[in-house]
Amino acid sequence: MLLYLDYAPVRWDETPHLYGGLLLSRGEFGEYLRESAFYPPLFDATTALYFMTIGVSVLSARLVSVTFGLLSIWIVFEYGYKLYGPRNAFISSVLLASMPGFIVLCRMALIETMLMFFFSVSLLLFFSWMRTKNDKMLILTGITFGLGFLVKYQMVVGGIIILVSLFYFGKQRLSIKLSKFLLILIVAGAVIAPWAILTYQQYATKMFGKWLYVAGMGNEERLAYSTRFPTPIFYLIEMTQPYPHRHPIVFPVYILALLGLGLWLWRRSEGDKFSLLSFAVVYLVFTIITSKDWRYITLVFPILAVSASEFILFLWDKVKDRLRTPHISFRQKSLTKVAAAALVVAVSVSVVYSSWEAYLWAEFDHVNIPVDEASQYVVERVTSNESIVVLCGGNYFSADMVEFYLLVYDPNQEQPMQYPELAVDAYKPSFNFTWLIETSEEMNVKYLLLFEHGNITFYETDLRSQDVLEAMLDTDRFVVEKEFGTFPRRIYILRFLSNS
């Protein structure tokens, strides 16, 4: 989980939280509301706390995800213990801790592990209320639900699960069921209200269009990604193989988890039905949402870990019961012992294989993209009236990433311009070098930063960074002043040759 944590390259989706955490750590709340209020503030606020405590760095931000990843493992242990006992609790936590997708999310400054924690806690507290009818559990459920909403708005799926559970499991009158749900909403609303009041104007104007964009297909690359498999089974495939050689949940563990869901459907205890309902609601809601990614469905990873654990224990108990059967023959006892040994070996190998997949994923990210060094170089050499341009932004290199490092070294730095404005790995780029030269003159640009992007072609084109570099050098208005890194992940520092 901590391997190369400070070395792995920053992704596009991490930069809003790095930037937001930096602004909050410096007390620039107004700027934060203007620039970073697309997401709720809890993850960014926690990142700011880590920045102030440990220091401003990518490592500090990623340690937030690590922290809530560890807390999620603990909650899965508690959930398994509460519903199925200590054996399930231990195996469930081991299975979740070895899932490659879970470990990868713990290694990035993303909100998924924090959301998973609050989602799982709210379900555990609500199930505790179902068993004890202690209304204190409903109040705690409302608090954790509200905090989860302040992590990511998708937490609303937890509210759907609670509402459906009240109607499905509750034996009280309708008015009592609604009053219990209303209590949760009131408590959650009290937690959410300060943020909602502060950001009402921002959300009512600028942010609403962005929400619609994200809830829809998004960009062309996202459209292609979200329609690769038939919609009803998209996430059944996506959870185990979103990429050819990457598996958020390895196939053997995934099969055990699906068989565990089947066991719950057949057995139908109260805990089984609650867990099945939680899985079904999350799966259905995110299937309906048109923009899809395996990260969105990770809320069910803890449930799948518990279901896989329960199926393993079901088989183990069957073997034990078989061995206790009176008058069993020597041959039957030997075969049963072989089956028991095979089960232990199969589960152990699956966990080791899952951990190995996680290691390979981490090793894949063990590459150096020197955004920090390149940003420090330019910030030390530009004056307040000179500008910076980031060329060919993408998942591993963008104006937002550069801006984060510029602000680390100089809080007064202006945001660099990105050209083309849209990411070249998600939109087909269009270059106008005449316009770039004229704009560089107008903006008094001194440096332009260009990343090699692994020497891959841009979206729906044969163009590479090297082609852009050669075309710029051919204009005789740009020269390479410095290079950082090694092929194929170099960052070129180009200097603009002004006529003035």
Residue 2 reports pLDDT greater than 70: no
Tell me what pLDDT residue 290 has: 86
- Range in 152-156, 212-216, 373-377 with the lowest mean pLDDT: 212-216
For the stretch 327-351, what's the b/e string if a residue is b when 16 or more beta carbons lie within 10 angstroms of its beta carbon? eeeeeeeeebeeebeeeeeebeebb
55 Rama sector, left if φ>0, alpha if ψ -120 to 50, beta otherwise: left
475 vs 125: CA distance, rounded Å: 65
Confirm if 445 and 387 have CB atoms less than 8 A apart: yes
- Asked if residue 214 has pLDDT above 60, the reply is no
- pTM of the entire predicted model: 0.92
Quote the tokens at residue 81. 């213990």
Tell me the two tokens of residue 390: 């980031």
Percent of the chain with pLDDT over 90: 71
pLDDT of residue 246: 87
Residue with the bigger pLDDT between 205 and 75: it is: 75
pLDDT of residue 202: 60
Residue 101, pLDDT above cutoff 60: yes
pLDDT of residue 205: 53
Output 172 or 402, whichever has higher pLDDT: 402
Structure tokens that stand for 404 in this block: 């984060």
Overall average pLDDT of the 386-398 stretch: 93
Percent of residues, the chain, with pLDDT higher than 70: 94
Is the pLDDT score of 124 beyond 50? yes
- Work out the average pLDDT over 51-80: 96
pLDDT of residue 229: 87
Alpha-carbon gap, residue 157 to 61, rounded angstroms: 26
- Looking at mean pLDDT, say which of 9-23, 64-78, 188-202, 361-375 comes out highest: 64-78
303 pLDDT higher than 60: yes
Provide CB contacts within 8 A for 284, sequence distance 6+: none
Give the pLDDT score at 210: 52
Does pLDDT of 217 surpass 50? no
Task: Give which of 70, 119, 103 is closest to 247, Cα–Cα.
Answer: 103
DSSP run (H or E) holding 417: strand 417-419
**Given pLDDT bands bounded at 50, 70 and 90, which one contains residue 453?**
confident
**What per-residue confidence (pLDDT) applies to 421?**
92
Model pLDDT, residue 451: 95
Q: Quick one: pLDDT at residue 368?
A: 86
In this prediction, residue 245 carries a pLDDT of 83
Are the C-beta atoms of 218 and 72 separated by less than 8 Å? no
- Residue 322 pLDDT: 85
In this structure, are residues 376 and 409 in contact, taking their beta carbons and an 8 Å threshold?
yes
Q: What is the mean pLDDT of residues 101-121?
A: 96
Instruction: Report the distance separating Cα 235 and Cα 241, nearest Å.
Output: 10
| Distance between CA atoms of residues 447 and 495, nearest Å | 5
- SS3 assignment for 37-84: CCCCCHHHHHHHHHHHHHCCCHHHHHHHHHHHHHHHHHHHHHHHHHHH
What value does the mean pLDDT take over residues 159-182? 86
Q: What is the pLDDT of residue 35?
A: 78
pLDDT tens digit sequence for 17-35: 999 999 999 999 888 888 7
**What is the mean predicted confidence (pLDDT) over 286-315?**
94
Banded model confidence at residue 125, pLDDT cuts 50, 70, 90 = very high
Q: Is the separation of the CB atoms in 316 and 343 below 8 Å?
A: yes
pLDDT for position 138: 95
Name every residue whose Cβ is closer than 8 Å to that of residue 334 and which is 6 or more positions away in sequence: none
Tokens, residue 14? 């991490």
Q: What are the pLDDT digits (tens) for 224-279?
A: 778 888 889 999 999 998 888 889 999 999 999 999 999 999 999 999 999 999 99
User: Would you say 265 and 276 are in contact if contact means Cβ atoms under 8 Å apart?
Assistant: yes
Task: Inform me whether the pLDDT recorded for 356 exceeds 50.
Answer: yes
Q: Output the average pLDDT for the chain.
A: 90
Q: Is residue 100 within 8 Å of residue 358, measured between CB atoms?
A: yes
For residue 416, how many other CB atoms are within 10 A of its CB?
24
Amino acid (one-letter) located at 2: L
